[in-house]
Structure 1
Amino acid sequence: MSKFIKQIQERRNSLWEQSKALLDAAEARGQDLAGEEEQTWQRLNTEIDQIDVRVKELLDAEQRTADADAAFRSLLEKAPAPEGRQGAERAEVERVRGWLTGQSGSRSLDVRPDSTAPLDARTLSKLTAAAGANTVPISFYNRLVQHMIEVSGVLAAGPTVLRTATGEQLQIPKTTAHSANAGIVAEAGALTANEPTFGQVSLDAYKYGFLLQVSHELANDTAVDLLGYLAMQAGRALGNGFGAHLVTGTGSSQPNGVLTAATLGTTGTTGVVGAPNADNLIDLMYSVISPYRGGASVGWLMRDSTVAAVRKLKDLQGQYLWQPSIQAGTPDTILGKPLLTDPNMPAAALGAKSVLFGDFSTYFVRQVESLRFERSDDYAFNTDLITYRAILRGDGDQVDTTGAIKYFAGGAS
């Protein structure tokens, strides 16, 4: 599998080289892409995007196979675990599955990452048609959070995540200005006060929820990885809803989105319908001061359509700003910094804040660690469907407003 992933990664790089050749040829003629060249460019970039999706699917499949192999090795080779641990695992599996199928008689289920019997349990999953039902280790909470991250560019960008057991309002110190520079002081002269300025930001626990319906037949089929299915569907739904506000939330009765809280880095020039050019992106990058530019969570955030335009841009040395990743599963880069995408970022347009750059660890995401699930057999009684309700509580805000994350705004026409 790894060899095949490497082959399609090489195919991706080849497509990018073909794309660059088209752009270079058009530039040599002093013209833009037109006609058949533009169609070829779009086709090549569409195939690059399709390969990205395919690589992710293959990596996920390879990881599932590795997990299954590790589980079987553990069952066949390791000494039996202490009876207490085995009993805890079995009890937790039965508790969750019993709730899913209604056997427990309980309407609700709270899932936490630090349960007394952690949900690092074993469930049944069909890896392939030939394999049938196999025993694999899973973590329901971790898998759900993983799917949330997959659909939210902000969560994938490496924000500071605070997980609390309960939902009381949190007061977090906020840096609004750094200390001024020290100056020369005469002998016996008074020292000038030189202190940073702080404010305070409140992190609440706004409630996000959705409904999911499955048939009784699916819920009671022990060969189906129902826990994995519910984690994926719930994670994506909660990630989409929460993730949208983490980008563009107004801060009023909802999270204060990272785009809302960011400060202006640079404004585009005229005549490009609000899209950034190479100089704009370089200016945006260097509008963020060095301590933030070198952070572990520094990077770019934009939507896919903006990335398509940025792929054509070069610096003054004729080097493309966008560079494809040389390792499957790692982000592409712009000017050497990781690029992440989020569909909630605005498209490039006049006055639109279409590109973010900075240290995303200065953006705080608060999650109440208990994820609440509830079930009802009565909600869709006439269709014999079980209805599950998932509830997440969270918030987000920028705690360093000195310019750690900045945005590009499309210039006037």
Structure 2
Amino acid sequence: MDLKKMLEMRAQKLAALKALIEKAKAEERAMNQDEITSFEALETEIRELDKTIAALEKTRELTESEPQVPVEEEKRSVEERDYEAFDALIRSEETRAGELTKGENGAVIPTTIANKIIEKVVEICPIFQDSDRYNVKGTLSIPYYDESTSDITMEYADEFTDGESKTGKFKSINLTGFLGRAISDVSISLINDSSFDVVGFVVRRMAGSIARFIEKELLKGTPNKIDGLSKGVQELKTAGANFTADEIIDLQELIPDAYQANAYFIMSRKTRTAVRKLKDGQGNYLLNKDANSRWGYTLFGHDVYTSENMDDVKAGATVMYYGDYTGLATKISENINIKVLTEVKARQHAVEVLGFVELDAKVQNAQKIAKLVIKG
């Protein structure tokens, strides 16, 4: 029953009742028997509607005063339920796994668990975390303004003289999607240990595997696949077979001051070791330990991140990146697809967890990032 509809019906009945009285008054007579019968019927219907309306209003009051489950508490209960179901799936406890047991040899895990994996990837992969991320499916076209073609200029002008219009061009980069796969095996002996946090283990293992793949692709790219930083950034080549302190300064100066605030260096551990040995004219080391920095070291006032995916010093190698990595656009599908396969590795006494992620990355602002390349 709808309260609004009940009120409309009451108004109609009341109007019909008043019309009977007004008609008799206008004709200056008493109501006849048919009019009296209609009046009494309408009066009865109105009183019944009043009771119904009162009951509906009371119900609404009681409903509004009903305690509401906080959004955070409701979200947490969903995550806990999914966590328990996924744990049961890995342990092959089908009754407790519930709806997750789909198919004979695998099941797609809940979105909340997949999101935890992605959150962990973001946490342990700084360049992915700091890039301009888009969580969408399909092809994404990102427009950008290219001032290198011709910039808008302002100049003095005299009356009655024409000026020449100058403007840059709008260009765009297209991010599609390339499928990557991560595989993690979980020992059944560990699974059988009831005290072992098997879900946490899987989340960490899968996140670590996906993060390593993503970081490699963002830093190095793969021909005809993900470009990452391999194309489109500013480049400085060394004069010799190694880099110098002056060349690191030159690299840093390629980035406009407007983008320096959030810029940092990326290099391998061996390259960082080489940088640690560089000194200025007064014999002071250039690389400084800094407890307040993101990763413990600063170079010319900016943080230094080391990655196993960066090349060491050798001919033709990109040994260092510097910049604000929002200049890199990354696209990852909203749904990471993770499956648990219980039979594939059964003979090896293991359960296989298989993950697929769709990713693409391209430089969207070359002014923000530069790389140092050893002379080849």
Instruction: Report the TM-score, using the length of structure 1 for normalisation.
Output: 0.65
Answer yes or no: is the 8 Å Cα contact 1:251–1:257 preserved in 2.
Answer: no
Task: Identify if the C-alpha distance between structure 1 residues 87 and 335 changes in structure 2 by more than 3 Å, giving closer, same or farther.
Answer: closer
> In structure 1, what is the equivalent of residue 184 of structure 2?
212
CA–CA separation in structure 2 for the residues paired with 1:149 and 1:85? 21
> In structure 2, what is the equivalent of residue 99 of structure 1?
89
Task: Identify if the C-alpha distance between structure 1 residues 162 and 185 changes in structure 2 by more than 3 Å, giving closer, same or farther.
Answer: same
> In structure 2, what is the equivalent of residue 67 of structure 1?
none
What are structure 2's unaligned runs of at least 5 residues? 1-68
Letter in 1 for 2:108: L
> In structure 2, what is the equivalent of residue 11 of structure 1?
none
Q: CA deviation at 1:352?
A: 2.3
CA–CA separation in structure 2 for the residues paired with 1:85 and 1:370? 18
Say which SS state the counterpart of residue 203 (structure 2) adopts.
helix
Residue among 376, 381, 384 paired with 2:341? 376
Q: CA deviation at 1:315?
A: 3.2
Answer yes or no: is the 8 Å Cα contact 1:259–1:356 preserved in 2.
Answer: no
Letter in 1 for 2:226: P
Q: Which has the larger radius of gyration?
A: 2
1:185 aligns with 2:149: no
1:160 aligns with 2:132: yes
> In structure 1, what is the equivalent of residue 167 of structure 2?
195
Task: Identify if the C-alpha distance between structure 1 residues 185 and 351 changes in structure 2 by more than 3 Å, giving closer, same or farther.
Answer: farther
> In structure 2, what is the equivalent of residue 145 of structure 1?
119
Task: Identify if the C-alpha distance between structure 1 residues 326 and 362 changes in structure 2 by more than 3 Å, giving closer, same or farther.
Answer: same
Q: CA deviation at 1:251?
A: 5.6
Q: CA deviation at 1:292?
A: 1.8
Q: CA deviation at 1:163?
A: 1.6
Q: CA deviation at 1:233?
A: 0.9
Q: CA deviation at 1:246?
A: 0.8
Question: Could you give the per-residue CA deviations for residues 277-325 of structure 1, whole angstroms, max 9, x where no partner exists?
Answer: 111011111122211223x2x1111111111111111234544321111
> In structure 2, what is the equivalent of residue 243 of structure 1?
215
CA–CA separation in structure 2 for the residues paired with 1:230 and 1:369? 20
Answer yes or no: is the 8 Å Cα contact 2:329–2:363 preserved in 1.
Answer: yes
User: What value does the CA root-mean-square deviation take over the aligned residues?
Assistant: 2.7
Residue among 345, 369, 372 paired with 1:408? 372
Letter in 2 for 1:286: E
Say which SS state the counterpart of residue 394 (structure 1) adopts.
strand
Answer yes or no: is the 8 Å Cα contact 2:182–2:356 preserved in 1.
Answer: yes
CA–CA separation in structure 1 for the residues paired with 2:311 and 2:75? 50
Q: CA deviation at 1:396?
A: 0.8
CA–CA separation in structure 2 for the residues paired with 1:355 and 1:383? 42
Q: CA deviation at 1:344?
A: 1.8
CA–CA separation in structure 2 for the residues paired with 1:304 and 1:282? 20
CA–CA separation in structure 1 for the residues paired with 2:348 and 2:220? 38
Answer yes or no: is the 8 Å Cα contact 1:279–1:315 preserved in 2.
Answer: no
Task: Identify if the C-alpha distance between structure 1 residues 383 and 223 changes in structure 2 by more than 3 Å, giving closer, same or farther.
Answer: same
Answer yes or no: is the 8 Å Cα contact 2:297–2:304 preserved in 1.
Answer: yes
Letter in 2 for 1:100: I
1:360 aligns with 2:328: no
CA–CA separation in structure 1 for the residues paired with 2:193 and 2:337? 24
Answer yes or no: is the 8 Å Cα contact 1:153–1:342 preserved in 2.
Answer: no
Answer yes or no: is the 8 Å Cα contact 1:182–1:194 preserved in 2.
Answer: no
Task: Identify if the C-alpha distance between structure 1 residues 111 and 192 changes in structure 2 by more than 3 Å, giving closer, same or farther.
Answer: farther
Answer yes or no: is the 8 Å Cα contact 1:302–1:355 preserved in 2.
Answer: yes
Task: Identify if the C-alpha distance between structure 1 residues 182 and 143 changes in structure 2 by more than 3 Å, giving closer, same or farther.
Answer: same
Answer yes or no: is the 8 Å Cα contact 1:110–1:370 preserved in 2.
Answer: no
> In structure 1, what is the equivalent of residue 231 of structure 2?
260
User: Which stretch shifts more, 346-355 or 332-341?
Assistant: 346-355
Q: CA deviation at 1:326?
A: 2.3
Answer yes or no: is the 8 Å Cα contact 1:267–1:409 preserved in 2.
Answer: yes
Give the aligned length: 296
Alignment of 1:243-322 (within 5 A): 243-250=215-222, 252=224, 254-264=225-235, 266-270=236-240, 273=241, 275-294=242-261, 296=262, 298-316=263-281, 318-322=283-287
Residue among 173, 193, 196 paired with 1:221? 193
Question: Could you give the per-residue CA deviations for residues 75-104 of structure 1, whole angstroms, max 9, x where no partner exists?
Answer: xxxxxx768667535432333223323323
What are structure 1's unaligned runs of at least 5 residues? 1-80, 113-117, 120-139
User: Which stretch shifts more, 174-183 or 140-149?
Assistant: 140-149
Q: CA deviation at 1:144?
A: 4.9
Q: CA deviation at 1:193?
A: 2.5
User: Which stretch shifts more, 220-229 or 353-362?
Assistant: 220-229
CA–CA separation in structure 1 for the residues paired with 2:296 and 2:229? 20
Instruction: Report the TM-score, using the length of structure 2 for normalisation.
Output: 0.71
Q: CA deviation at 1:333?
A: 1.0
Letter in 1 for 2:310: M
Task: Identify if the C-alpha distance between structure 1 residues 208 and 227 changes in structure 2 by more than 3 Å, giving closer, same or farther.
Answer: same
Identity %: 18
> In structure 2, what is the equivalent of residue 342 of structure 1?
307
